[in-house]
Amino acid sequence: MVYFSDPLIVSAYLAALLGSFAWLLVVTKLPLSIGFPVYIGVTFLLVIMGSWLFLGEDISAMKLLAVCFIFIGVTLGGMR
């Protein structure tokens, strides 16, 4: 029962719930072949931003370049 009173764990549950609803919304609006790569690409960006904001990690030029390449690949892959 300690898990339900810890604000960090409750916020993680809420974030997962919101992420699930966002994913369901994306899947209803986009084809899966486009929605899934976009979701994965955004996840890379959010992980880098979260590690910088919450853990104090450095964002190097190489990481930013890698995220740019991921977005370029997702954009090219989603073109018809």
Q: DSSP string covering 3-38, please?
A: GGT-HHHHHHHHHHHHHHHHHHHHHHHS-HHHHHHH
Burial class (CB in 10 A: 0-12, 13-18, 19+), 41: buried
Domain match, 71 and 36 both: yes
Domain match, 41 and 20 both: no
Question: How high is the pLDDT of residue 76?
Answer: 82
pTM of structure? 0.63
Confidence of residue 62 (pLDDT cuts 50, 70, 90): very high
Domain match, 20 and 35 both: no
SS3 at position 50? helix
Q: Are 27 and 35 in contact (CB under 8 A)?
A: yes
| Alpha-carbon gap, residue 59 to 48, rounded angstroms | 7
Domain match, 25 and 37 both: no
* Residue-number span of the structural domain to which 51 is assigned: 31-80
Domain match, 45 and 15 both: no
Domain match, 23 and 40 both: no
Count of domains forming the chain: 2
Question: How high is the pLDDT of residue 80?
Answer: 67
**When comparing pLDDT for 1 and 10, which is higher?**
10
Domain match, 37 and 71 both: yes
